[in-house]
Chain A
Amino acid sequence: MALIEIRGLSTVFGPHPQAALEKVRAGMDKPGLLATTGHVLALDRIELDIEGGEIFVIMGLSGSGKSTLVRHINRLIDPTEGTVRIAGEDVTALPIPALIALRRRRLAMVFQRFGLHAHRSVLDNVAYGLEIRGVPRAQRENEARAWIERVGLAGVETQYPAQLSGGMQQRVGLARALCAGTDIILMDEAFSALDPLIRSQLQGELLALQATLGKTVVFITHDLDEALRIGNRIAILKDGALVQVGTPEDILLRPADDYVAAFVRDVNRARALRLHNALAPWPQTHPLPALARAVDVDAPIESVLPRLVGRSTPIALRKDGRIVGCVDVDAVSALLAPQG
């Protein structure tokens, strides 16, 4: 059983969502629904399993329903149809007190437009999740200070959100979510306003956190390189429907349709793909090289490119202390430049 199970989730925005959804079931499409009834079909029969401890990335064009989808996980939005279960518990049917308890215990969120409280200092914003739960002031402020430092904002504790730059505000939102100490974190474009340096640093932090604390992260991003770096699995949304869910390599090597293929076209494939994708048996005609000269099969292709260029003999690959095969120039270039 997956930690988060989404079943048959459909959501329509407008005054009469049920009636509009029936029109969709009768065959009307999203633009048609908008044109004739003014209702927006934001999500259409989503089926999704998110495992505990994974970083699950959601991608898709603007307006494809990413933010709407994650808002169902903590039920900021009620679906028109379908269910969301967390550890087997149906979130969509929880009574309000139980829902509040669940949000406090398990769910934190980073908002696309930050959602900071203008009347609270940075420190009080970050400590908010603990404050709501009644954690004593001294304790929650200590905790908050540690997270403020961790996101690189030490020194601005007493300032107010309006005094900070966009990237700093985004990090306050990030620290607020982390400070709540929940095991699930929903991150809606949590790194979008950051400069490349801090961004890559925080991606590293996130990976470390997930590795040490086993957090489950649902991460929305527009940046495919980011998705490939941090995502264990990636889901791609189009007009409110899921078109593909898979590992980064699935998405790159086996795109489900042209939409996904177009999506992944500009990715740095040499960095995203690992050598085992080009693995071939070691040719019988050559003697086996020394193990020390072999490269790990899980290394990115990028790491052998300099050695591979202008070389006719293959490079040996190793796994678990023995040589398992090789890669050569032809296999690698086929991977890096698909469809000719």
Chain B
Amino acid sequence: MEIFPDWRTPLRKGANASIDWLIINFGDQFEAFANSLLGVLLLIERVLRGAPPWAILLVTALLALAVSRRWRFALGASAGMWLVGALGQWDQAMQTLALVLVSVGVSVLLGLPLGIWCARSPWVRRLVSPVLDLMQTIPSFVYLIPAAMLFGLGKVPAILATVIYAAPPLVRLTELGISQVSREAMEAGRAFGATRWQLLTGVQIPLSLPSIMQGINQTTMMALAMVVIASMIGARGVGETVLLGLQRNDAGEGLVGGLVIVVLAIVLDRIMQAGGARLQRGGT
């Protein structure tokens, strides 16, 4: 006796049919969206790859100095970037950096408002929370197949895959930060006649900034963790180096790629941590 109905065929066919439908009816819109995202990415890439490496090293040092006010810290950050060049991965690292920056940018653009919305409405939170779980657990390849069909192979689906994987902690930490703003701080805002917008921008967001910064930091780290998968669907960069090592059975090459990713992660993490600490100077 057969106890399992066949749900597989209708699910598969239904999903494929809806993707076909999307491509036929909205192909142009998807392409326009992909092109604008690609435009931003290419612009950042051109700046990072076009600038002389010493300029990037200098900017890294200055940025680190600005957030930490410590010379040794600035020197260390710069030395990390120099190591990337010494490992022969400068150009790849700049491509990866551009990809990570754009992915984090898109994550912030989507994740911050979503986190705020979740904090304001229990209904939205109940709806969004399982979706976030899904985004983090579902294997990337599952959504990469339709993404590649909609946007073609290359950088845009790589950005989308990265955003899907990396944005959830930002949404969660934004929501957490905003719901932890003390009742009296909010009441003080309301009592003096603040509008909802003034409460959001003048009280809630600034007071939850430490939490939001932590979210952005985690998102950045997770975006870096995605670069190998991003390379599998055609993004260039350090992920490609690792992939090459894998394909050619070249463990050394893989190690070089891995090391560069780790160094990038450490440099970005430290600079962001110091920046976050600077932002909360007087706060608790």
Contacts and interface: CB of A to CB of B under 8 A. Distances in A.
Partners in one complex: yes
Nearest to A161: B282
B198 A160 contact: no
Nearest to B205: A119
B193 A104 contact: yes
Interface in A58-77: 71, 74, 76
Contacts of A163: 282
B206 A119 contact: yes
A117 B284 contact: no
A293 B188 CA distance: 53
Interface string B197-235: 010001100110100000000000000000000000000
B185 A118 contact: yes
B192 A103 contact: yes
Contacts of B142: none
B2 interface: no
Given A117-B185, A119-B207, A162 B283 contact: yes
Contacts, number: 80
A243 B280 CA distance: 47
Interface in A155-177: 159-163, 176
A109 B198 contact: no
Contacts of B190: 76, 103
A119 B191 contact: no
B194 interface: yes
Interface string A64-107: 00000001001010000000000000000000000011111001
Contact of B283 (A113, A114, A160): A160
B184 A109 contact: no
A176 to B, nearest CB: 8
B209 A108 contact: no
Nearest to A76: B187
Contact of A160 (B189, B191, B193, B282): B282
B195 interface: yes
B203 to A, nearest CB: 6
Contacts of A186: 191
Contact of B193 (A100, A113, A117, A159): A100
Contacts of B192: 103-104, 108-109, 128-129, 132, 176, 180
A206 B31 CA distance: 67
A236 interface: no
Nearest to A102: B193
A8 to B, nearest CB: 24
B281 A132 contact: no
A108 B191 contact: yes
Contacts of B191: 74, 76, 103, 107-109, 111, 186
Nearest to A162: B284
Of the candidates A108, A117, A119, A161, the one having the most CB atoms from chain B within 10 angstroms of its own CB is A119
A35 B185 CA distance: 31
A131 B283 CA distance: 20
A252 interface: no
Nearest to A101: B193
Contacts of A128: 188, 192
A121 to B, nearest CB: 7
A118 B207 CA distance: 7
A168 to B, nearest CB: 14
Nearest to B280: A119
A31 interface: no
Contacts of B198: 132
A161 B195 CA distance: 23
A160 B281 contact: yes
B188 A117 contact: yes
A265 interface: no
Contact of B207 (A109, A117, A159): A117
Nearest to A113: B184
B282 A115 contact: no
B193 A129 contact: yes
Nearest to A158: B282
Contacts of A319: none
Contact of B188 (A107, A116, A162): A116
B101 to A, nearest CB: 27
A137 interface: no
Given A129-B193, A132-B194, A115 B185 contact: yes
Contacts of A119: 206-207, 209, 280, 282-283
A104 to B, nearest CB: 3
A4 to B, nearest CB: 15
Given A100-B193, A132-B193, A132-B198, A115 B283 contact: no
A102 B203 CA distance: 20
Nearest to B191: A109
A109 B188 CA distance: 8
A16 interface: no
A18 B185 CA distance: 28
B250 to A, nearest CB: 51
Interface in B146-186: 182, 184-185
A133 interface: yes
A47 to B, nearest CB: 24
Given A119-B282, A128-B188, A132-B198, 9 more contacts: A76-B187, A101-B193, A103-B192, A107-B193, A115-B182, A117-B206, A119-B207, A132-B193, A159-B282
Interface of A: 71, 74, 76, 100-104, 107-109, 111, 113-119, 121, 128-129, 131-133, 159-163, 176, 180, 186
5 contacts: A102-B193, A104-B192, A119-B207, A132-B192, A160-B281
The 5 closest A-B pairs by CB, nearest first: A160-B282, A104-B193, A115-B184, A115-B188, A103-B193
Interface of B: 182, 184-185, 187-195, 198, 202-203, 206-207, 209, 280-284
